[in-house]
Amino acid sequence: MSAPTLVILAAGIGSRYGGLKQLDEFGPSGETLMDYAVYDAARSGFEKVVLVVRADMADGFRARFEPRWTPAVRLATVVQELDRVPAGFTVPPGRSKPWGTAHAVLMAAPVVDTPFVVINADDFYGRGSYARAGEFFRQSTDDLYGVVGFELQRTLSAYGTVSRGVCETDAAGHLRRVTERTEIERRGDVIAYRDEHGEWRPLAPATPVSMNMITFPPAVFPLLECYFADFLAAQGGESRAEFFLPLVLTRVIDEEVGRVRVIPTDEQWFGVTYREDRDWVRSSLRRLVDRGVYPSCLWP
């Protein structure tokens, strides 16, 4: 099997964070979270990285990261453009919001021809998560759809509620459905989410959740084209509707296109949902460096 590709979704605006968090420096030598992702992926057998960015970011991202990541991986950049829609559709007047994570992945189709893993640019997933994803590709015969499942208790922020895709699995570890819970927080000794009626409902600490670290075969791209056209036909006129990756996984399962494996990881996630998360992320990386998990400078 060809070496897998890492697709990094880096076109976000970071409205709650108040800045371009993809380029914020968190490591002791000025590393971004993307630097750690590529470092871990390269050591887990990934040979190519695709950055999905906005048009105004492309040149700057390439100039900054290509010299440091080469020759560990090959780098390609693609642009997520609002007007990249199928024939017969148009962007509704006044729409400025991107079409969502599944549309961002679709933009990578021209440069991806191997199994690939999608991640967010502003999340830290841990070396073990990339190793598990690489192992999944090597061992799997037909289950190339997968979700890296993090324990809920390892994915919370101390500074506010978080949104998580709560995974329900069958006895064999295949995904049945992902339910997006938009307000999750630790409330005393309990982790809970707020339901549509405003009531707080408990969740088990070890509940597997998706952090948008998802594996796909390259055969998913024609499906994404079809699913995106269906999405536009149904919701394209809504100014804030988004075409999300969990919607794709749901259709893959419901239409029996393939099985989706939940790939467990015991890594600690951290990321920068809120600006107050910055110090926590920096101290977490500093502890990993002190323990010898990472060198103090990733790209000497």
pLDDT single digits (tens) 22-46: 889 999 999 999 999 999 999 999 9
Summarize the confidence of residues 236-257 as an average pLDDT. Answer: 92
pTM of the predicted model, to two decimals? 0.94
Evaluate whether residue 44 is within a structural domain: yes
Summarize the confidence of residues 63-74 as an average pLDDT. Answer: 95
Evaluate whether residue 300 is within a structural domain: no
294 vs 28: CA distance, rounded Å: 10
Evaluate whether residue 297 is within a structural domain: no
Evaluate whether residue 20 is within a structural domain: yes
185 vs 158: CA distance, rounded Å: 8
Summarize the confidence of residues 132-161 as an average pLDDT. Answer: 90
Q: Across all residues in the chain, what is the average pLDDT? A: 93
Evaluate whether residue 177 is within a structural domain: yes
pLDDT tier, 300 (very low <50, low <70, confident <90, very high otherwise)? confident
Query: What is the count of structural domains for the chain?
Result: 1
Contacts of 77 (CB under 8 A, 6+ apart): 50, 51, 52, 53, 58, 61, 62
Evaluate whether residue 225 is within a structural domain: yes
Two tokens at 131? 């190793």
CATH number, residue 59? 3.90.550.10
Evaluate whether residue 279 is within a structural domain: yes
pLDDT value for 142: 67
Residue ranges making up the domain that contains 108: 5-290
Evaluate whether residue 299 is within a structural domain: no
pLDDT value for 17: 54
pLDDT value for 239: 85
